[in-house]
């Protein structure tokens, strides 16, 4: 409880703009190193946004706040910092902090979903010169940069530019996004994916880099190869459609149409034909047929899993839904399950887990706890 009160104090000082550089440094360090501190701080920020705490602090009359605080806490003026802005903020601490401690109830699924939707980070474009641009997946945006004009909306990005420097598009957990490159190549990015790409391809090979999962429909250009770099391999094509998945150590490339050459850092190469998937692990390619509906279903917001250990499924679901699934029971180490996840139907996925894995749930800030 003492730790929570300290966090409350620091949060309110941050809210009022009175946090010292030393205190700010302490907060940043604790957010990085202490999970309990971070969870409490995130919960306060969420609560503060929902009640309009910043506007409330700005609207308080400092003298009135100080007097009210003295009456409530039975404190003499000399026992409180003389900074009246802090006194006003401390009043909010008493009101909001007491409410948070005494009234906080377990979240329902509906409340949890609504809360996490508000907290979802945006898809972000980071340009070669370090400028960060948040891309709204719902509303239309036209953004003019020194080196490009961006047109974003409906979960996709188009642009015009002649800049060949590398940019980074980051798709957070729980989201997916589409991008059209300068040559007309279409890229569909899954959750927790980063794509490095130039606004404009030069005269040589067309090269991009991906970490996560992406589907490419490459515009044909016999004079210039299209190369997708992954952490451990290269996919080399001229015009084709394929899926790349690097979430796990075993990277997988699944060819839908055309042909591709896979190449490892060691120089080992293998060619894929439509309907084939190459899995690369520990310096070796293994080729086998794949089920297109299963591999590509993520683009429709669906994910299939077969006899997957719940310990692994928790990681996949965290990425897919954009919330943390935390296992609180050792029993899940011996349980595997089969089913599907629909990004728009979290409740159905949880119901299935209740039946197939005997899971019970509670909902916290940014996390679903399974026991």
All domains in the chain, ordered by first residue: 2-104 (no CATH), 122-295 (2.60.120.1440), 301-370 (3.55.50.30)
Distance CA 292, CA 243 (A): 10
Distance CA 239, CA 183 (A): 11
> Would you give per-residue pLDDT tens digits along the chain (371 residues)?
456 667 877 877 777 677 888 888 888 888 888 887 887 888 777 766 655 555 545 554 545 544 544 554 444 444 444 444 444 444 455 445 544 444 445 667 777 777 766 667 899 999 999 999 999 887 899 999 999 999 999 999 999 999 999 999 999 999 999 999 999 999 999 999 999 999 999 999 999 999 999 999 999 999 999 999 999 999 999 999 999 999 988 899 999 999 999 999 888 999 999 999 999 988 899 999 999 999 999 999 999 999 999 999 999 999 999 999 999 999 999 999 999 999 989 989 998 999 899 999 988 878 999 99
Instruction: Calculate the dihedral angle through the C-alpha atoms of 22, 25, 29, 35, rounding to the nearest 10 degrees.
Output: 90
Phi, psi for 228 (deg, rounded to 5): -105, 115
Structure tokens at 329: 């029971």
Angle of helix 109-119 relative to helix 35-51, nearest 10 degrees, comes to: 90
Q: How many CB atoms lie within 10 A of CB 224?
A: 17
How many helices (H) and strands (E) would you count in the chain? Answer: 11, 24
Question: pLDDT at position 55, please?
Answer: 54
With H, G, I as helix, E, B as strand and everything else as coil, classify residue 253.
strand
Question: pLDDT at position 99, please?
Answer: 44
Structure tokens at 48: 């503060």
Query: What does each C-alpha distance from 140 to 19, 69, 94, 162, 280 come to in angstroms?
Result: 37, 46, 41, 23, 39
Contact between 290 and 276 under an 8 Å Cβ cutoff? The reply is yes
Question: pLDDT at position 79, please?
Answer: 43
Distance CA 39, CA 367 (A): 10
Distance CA 153, CA 326 (A): 33
Please name the residue that has the structure tokens 């896979």. 262
Query: What does each C-alpha distance from 261 to 233, 278, 303 come to in angstroms?
Result: 10, 10, 27
Contact between 219 and 196 under an 8 Å Cβ cutoff? The reply is no
**What's the half-sphere exposure (Cβ side, CA atoms, 13 Å) at 153?**
7
Write out the H or E segment, with its range, that includes residue 7.
helix 2-16
Structure tokens at 50: 């929902």
- Do you know the residue count of the chain? 371
Task: Name which of 237, 232, 235 is nearest 218 in CA terms.
Answer: 237
Instruction: Calculate the dihedral angle through the C-alpha atoms of 44, 50, 54, 60, rounding to the nearest 10 degrees.
Output: -110
Question: pLDDT at position 121, please?
Answer: 84
Question: pLDDT at position 20, please?
Answer: 87
């Amino acid at each position: 409880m003492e730790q929570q009160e300290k966090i409350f104090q620091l949060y309110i000082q941050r809210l009022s703009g009175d946090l010292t550089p030393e205190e700010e440094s302490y907060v940043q360090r604790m957010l990085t190193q202490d999970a309990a501190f971070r969870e409490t701080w995130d919960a306060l920020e969420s609560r503060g946004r929902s009640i309009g705490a910043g506007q409330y602090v700005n609207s308080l009359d400092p003298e009135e706040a100080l007097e009210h605080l003295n009456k409530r806490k039975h404190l003499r003026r000399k026992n409180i910092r003389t900074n009246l802005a802090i006194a006003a903020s401390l009043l909010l601490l008493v009101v909001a902090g007491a409410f948070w401690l005494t009234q906080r109830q377990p979240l329902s699924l509906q409340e949890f979903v609504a809360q996490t939707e508000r907290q979802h980070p945006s898809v972000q474009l980071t340009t070669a010169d370090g400028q960060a641009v948040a891309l709204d997946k719902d509303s239309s945006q036209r953004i003019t940069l020194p080196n490009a004009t961006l047109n974003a909306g409906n979960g996709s990005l188009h642009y015009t530019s002649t800049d060949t420097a590398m940019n980074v598009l980051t798709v957070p957990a729980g989201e997916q996004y589409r991008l059209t490159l300068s040559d007309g190549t279409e890229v569909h990015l899954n959750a927790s994916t980063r794509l490095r790409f130039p606004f404009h391809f030069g005269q040589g090979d067309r090269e991009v880099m991906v970490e996560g999962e992406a589907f490419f429909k490459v515009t044909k250009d016999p004079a210039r190869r299209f190369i997708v770099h992954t952490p451990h391999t290269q996919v080399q094509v001229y015009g084709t459609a394929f899926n790349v998945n690097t979430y796990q150590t075993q990277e997988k490339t699944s060819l839908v149409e055309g042909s591709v050459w896979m190449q490892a850092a060691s120089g080992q190469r293998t060619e894929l034909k439509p309907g084939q998937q190459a899995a690369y692990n520990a310096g070796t390619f293994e080729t086998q047929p794949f089920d297109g509906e299963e591999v590509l279903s993520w683009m429709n917001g669906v994910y299939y899993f077969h006899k997957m250990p719940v310990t692994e499924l928790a990681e996949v679901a965290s990425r897919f839904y954009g919330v943390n699934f935390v296992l609180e029971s050792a029993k899940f180490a011996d349980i595997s399950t089969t089913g599907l996840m629909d990004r728009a139907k979290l409740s159905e996925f949880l119901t299935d887990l209740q039946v197939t894995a005997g899971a019970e749930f509670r909902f916290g800030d940014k996390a679903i706890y399974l026991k």
